[in-house]
Amino acid sequence: MTTTPADKSWWAARITPQPLPAETPAVAEILHQTSSGAAAFQARLEDGRTVWVKTLGNPQGDQVLTTEWVCSQTGRALGFSVAESLIVHLPEPFHHHPLGDPRGHRMRSGPAHATLHLPHAVEINSLRHEKNPDTQSGLAALWEIFLGGDEQWLATPHPHPRLVSFDHSLWLTRGEGDWDATLLHRLADHFWAPPGQPASSHQKVLQALQAISAEEILAILNQVPLQWKTSNQDLAALGWFTSHRIHRLARRMEAAQ
């Protein structure tokens, strides 16, 4: 079944967050801690992958986990240059472990958000460093769709130099506090200028915006763990908001051709 962005009841009827799957990868070892906004730390998973983790109990609040997951997964579903993210399990032995921030927050065991570590990547604070028009347009589009904040990308040297979107904690205006259904409905048509060049009418990016379905976005929302305690009402609003802004941007890009 397909739907239009305006059909809010469609989203409300289909939000069904699920318990964490049994095969969820688990954190095995903390490698390096930071005092960043959400006190992200580098960890090794039991399967050997190296990731950056944000946990329940972090200084920016538990909602950042939902924000990170939905922004990154939607960006990847659109085919944009976004760091790979996954939901991981923080086992009980790490429960109440200090996060290392000045206010003394502590981790809570359970589902956490993780971003795959990109070796040799360097943080860049300007989208203008990206020379590929399709990549730049895709990153600008993602910024506009999700009301991006905190201008930072990762520059990866190989196999192909590019900028990668990561760390979406302050997107959806989270720099000003948590989002909810009321805020998302109010900001659905708000123009959010991307840093540098706006998302232009590159055909590949436009086609990606036109092709993504409500069902794909819904699948991302329904993977949000129950333990993150984002209400079904807010998840439904986020689904509608995401679909609405994608369609809105696609119409504008199409008209500019």
SS (H, E, C) 150-162: CCCEEEECCCCCE
86: exposed, middle or buried (Cβ count in 10 Å: 0-12, 13-18, 19+): middle
Q: What is the DSSP letter of 195?
A: S
Dist CA 232 CA 251 (whole Å) = 29
Per the prediction, the chain carries an average pLDDT of: 92
CA distance 213 to 145: 15
More confident residue, 257 or 228: 228
For residue 109, what are the CA distances in angstroms to 90, 117, 159, 178, 211? 5, 21, 35, 22, 37
* Helix and strand counts by DSSP (H, E) for the chain: 7, 8
Which range, of 32-41, 163-172, 193-202, averages the lowest pLDDT?
193-202
Q: pTM, whole model, 2 decimals? A: 0.94
8-state DSSP, 34: -
Quickly state the pLDDT bin for 134 (edges 50, 70, 90). Answer: confident
State how far Cα 182 lies from the chain centre. Answer: 20
Q: Comparing C-alpha atoms, which of 226, 186, 213 is closest to residue 15?
A: 226
Residue 56 is given by DSSP the state E
pLDDT at 201 over 60: no
Full DSSP string of 99-158: ---TT--B-EEEEEEEEE--TT-EEES-GGG---HHHHHHHHHHHHHTT--S--EEEE-S
pLDDT-derived band at 2 (thresholds 50, 70, 90) equals very low
Whole-angstrom distance, CA of residue 211 vs CA of residue 227: 31
Q: Is residue 97 predicted with pLDDT exceeding 80?
A: yes
Is residue 35 within 8 A of residue 83, CB to CB? The reply is no
Residue 112 has pLDDT above 50, yes or no: yes
- Average pLDDT in the 149-176 region? 89
Instruction: Give the per-residue pLDDT at 215.
Output: 95
CB 165 within 8 A of CB 141: no
Q: What is the pLDDT of residue 1?
A: 38
Q: Which helix (H) or strand (E) holds 250?
A: helix 232-256
Q: Where are the domains of the chain?
A: 8-256
Report pLDDT digits (tens) over 38-81.
999 999 999 999 999 999 999 999 999 999 999 999 999 999 99
pLDDT, average across residues 200-212: 88
